[in-house]
């Protein structure tokens, strides 16, 4: 009996004809987007010029700019072979974060091939040298997020962290809103965004022969897919403990200030601050001084204001005690410690609801890393579960 012929594969799509005329970005000065970084202006040749309509690897056509970071730009592309949207992340040439992220993503790919953990599909995957978080979508950053929207996002984020920490043994080290992306399950949403962008192109700036595009704003879809944890440029592989500075300034855990070896619990601390920022639409830690070193003492004073003084046994492990504490154990910057509390600074809730929410946060914001709960343990928190149970009754 003759075998059936293999089904014909769909042929690759031809690239769209690239636009030829662009509106010019022309406010005072020319420091548009990534060009505003001082390090970009020092070594612009290290940043690849990407243009709308350009095709990479004879496969990925650039459709619009999604955003930029301190060492990279991100672009919505069309995979002409697979007929799907993907995100292209372009790093500054030779940057250590590019090398590190590639290593971590290869590790995660190997782990995912043998794991059945629910969280494995909630972290970024890599197609090849182009790093993709799945169907492109907006970041969570920006705007106040009400409780009924926040809670459904936290469960998959915690599942992703549980997978990273205890299956893949990866510490993210940079948990913040900008590194959480929402997948877009309905391709027609992106079709519409691309059509609108190409019909009314965002301005660009050309200086010194280099093209800088402005980013296209993507609004949160009414029914987004699950959040995806992205950006592993500073991630660490292994059980730890680790040493060295990580985390953004305003998200630094006590371990960073006190020079204590750290582990995956720094992700839990940062998650707590991220939740506060999203729910309250303000930073819990907001004092910026000229340098990371100069702001360390003020950051430590703010932690004391909110959580009380650190346990004595924690200070015994400190490598920089003399910098912040006198010989008699008193804090040198006591004048910067204010009379406040999480209760005094929380603006959205009252009574029992506030107490339950802050109890959830306090399980993440602890002086001792060992005292904070794991991602898996946080999944069972009463504040997080309360809405889920109410929805089940309503259904």
Q: List, in order of start, the domains of the chain with CATH numbers.
A: 11-94+187-220 (3.30.200), 96-124+137-183+221-386 (1.10.510.10)
Query: What share of the chain in percent tops pLDDT 90?
Result: 44
CA distance 263 to 245: 12
Buried/exposed code over 252-270 (b: 16+ C-beta within 10 A; e: otherwise): bbbbbbbbbebbbbbbbbb
Residue 394 has pLDDT above 50, yes or no: no
Residue 358 has pLDDT above 50, yes or no: yes
Residue 224 has pLDDT above 80, yes or no: no
Stretch 152-156: mean pLDDT, rounded?
93
CA angle centred on 191, ends 70 and 48, rounded to 5°? 30
Q: DSSP class of residue 123?
A: B
How does residue 110 score in pLDDT terms, banded at 50, 70 and 90? very high
Condensed to tens digits (0 to 9), the pLDDT of residues 166-180 reads 999 999 999 998 888
pLDDT of residue 226: 87
Q: DSSP class of residue 117?
A: -
Residue 171 buriedness (CB in 10 A; 0-12 / 13-18 / 19+): buried
- 123 — phi, psi (to 5°)? -125, 155
Dihedral sign for Cα 244, 67, 283, 362, please: negative
pLDDT of residue 174: 94
Question: Strand pairing partners for 139?
Answer: 181
How does residue 395 score in pLDDT terms, banded at 50, 70 and 90? very low
Residue 228 buriedness (CB in 10 A; 0-12 / 13-18 / 19+): buried
Stretch 38-48: mean pLDDT, rounded?
85
Kindly report which listed range (16-20, 250-254, 266-270) carries the lowest average pLDDT score.
16-20
Residue 289 has pLDDT above 60, yes or no: yes
Q: Which residues contact 360 (CB under 8 A, 6 or more apart)?
A: 378, 381, 382, 383, 384
Stretch 38-64: mean pLDDT, rounded?
88
Q: DSSP class of residue 332?
A: T
Stretch 314-335: mean pLDDT, rounded?
78
Kindly report which listed range (113-122, 214-223, 271-280, 327-336) carries the lowest average pLDDT score.
214-223
- 199 — phi, psi (to 5°)? -75, -30
Run of H or E residues at 150: helix 147-166
Q: Which of 365, 351, 248 is nearest to 302 (CA)?
A: 365
Q: How many CB atoms lie within 10 A of CB 30?
A: 14
Q: Which of 130-139, 221-230, 259-268, 310-319 has the highest mean pLDDT?
A: 259-268
Residue 392 has pLDDT above 70, yes or no: no
pLDDT of residue 89: 87
Q: Is 205 helix (H, G, I), strand (E, B) or coil?
A: strand
And the tokens for 116?
A: 């059945």
State the angle between helix axes of 351-362 and 265-280 in degrees (0 to 180), rounded to the nearest 10.
150
What does the mean pLDDT of the chain come to?
Answer: 85
Between these two residues, 275 and 146, which has the higher pLDDT value? 275
> Which residue, chain included where needed, has tokens 């929207």?
149
pLDDT of residue 133: 46
Indicate which residues carry an active-site annotation.
Answer: 174
pLDDT of residue 393: 36
CA distance 240 to 261: 8
CA angle centred on 363, ends 294 and 120, rounded to 5°? 95
How does residue 240 score in pLDDT terms, banded at 50, 70 and 90? confident
Query: What share of the chain in percent tops pLDDT 70?
Result: 87
CA distance 317 to 319: 7
pTM: 0.83
Q: Which residues contact 203 (CB under 8 A, 6 or more apart)?
A: 22, 23, 24, 25, 26, 214
Stretch 368-384: mean pLDDT, rounded?
95
Q: Is 132 helix (H, G, I), strand (E, B) or coil?
A: strand
Residue 129 has pLDDT above 70, yes or no: no
Between strands 180-182 and 204-207, the pairing is unpaired
Residue 2 has pLDDT above 50, yes or no: no
Buried/exposed code over 54-93 (b: 16+ C-beta within 10 A; e: otherwise): bebeebbbbbbbbbbbebbbbbbbbbbeeeebbbbbbbbe
Between these two residues, 340 and 178, which has the higher pLDDT value? 340
CA distance 389 to 103: 40
Stretch 203-231: mean pLDDT, rounded?
83
Residue 371 has pLDDT above 90, yes or no: yes
pLDDT of residue 128: 62
């Amino acid at each position: 009996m003759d075998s059936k012929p293999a089904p014909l594969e769909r042929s690759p799509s031809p690239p769209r004809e690239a636009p030829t005329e662009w509106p010019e970005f022309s406010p005072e000065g020319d420091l548009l987007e990534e060009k505003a970084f001082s390090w970009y202006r020092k070594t612009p040749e290290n940043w690849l010029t990407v243009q709308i309509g350009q095709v990479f690897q004879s496969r990925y056509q650039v459709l619009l700019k999604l955003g930029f970071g301190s060492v990279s730009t991100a672009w919505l592309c069309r995979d002409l072979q697979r007929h799907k949207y993907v995100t292209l992340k372009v790093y500054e040439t030779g940057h250590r974060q590019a090398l590190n992220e590639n290593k971590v993503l290869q590790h995660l790919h190997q782990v995912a091939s043998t794991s059945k953990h629910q969280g494995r599909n909630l972290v970024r995957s890599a197609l090849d040298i182009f790093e993709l978080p799945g169907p492109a979508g907006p970041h969570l950053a920006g705007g106040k997020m009400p409780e009924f929207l926040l809670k459904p996002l936290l469960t998959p984020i915690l599942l992703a962290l549980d997978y990273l920490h205890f299956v893949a043994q990866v510490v993210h080290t940079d948990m913040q809103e900008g590194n959480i992306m929402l997948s877009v399950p309905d391709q027609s949403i992106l079709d519409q965004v691309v059509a609108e962008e190409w019909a009314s192109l965002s301005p660009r700036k050309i200086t010194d022969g280099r093209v800088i595009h402005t980013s296209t704003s993507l609004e949160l879809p009414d029914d987004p897919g699950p959040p995806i944890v992205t950006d592993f440029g500073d991630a660490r592989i292994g059980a730890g403990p680790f040493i060295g500075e990580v985390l953004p300034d305003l998200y630094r855990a006590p371990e960073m200030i006190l020079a204590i070896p750290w582990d995956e619990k720094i992700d839990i601390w940062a998650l707590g601050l991220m939740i506060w920022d999203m729910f309250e639409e303000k930073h819990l830690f907001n004092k910026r001084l000229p340098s990371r070193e100069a702001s360390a003492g003020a950051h430590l004073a703010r932690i004391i204001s909110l959580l009380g003084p650190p346990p004595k046994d924690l200070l015994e492990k400190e490598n920089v005690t003399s910098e912040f504490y006198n010989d008699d154990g008193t804090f040198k910057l006591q004048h910067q410690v204010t009379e406040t509390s999480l209760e005094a600074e929380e603006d959205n809730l009252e009574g029992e609801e506030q107490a339950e929410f802050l109890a959830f946060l306090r399980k993440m914001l602890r002086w001792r890393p060992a005292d904070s709960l794991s991602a898996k343990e946080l999944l069972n928190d009463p504040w997080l579960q309360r809405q889920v149970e109410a929805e089940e009754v309503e259904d």
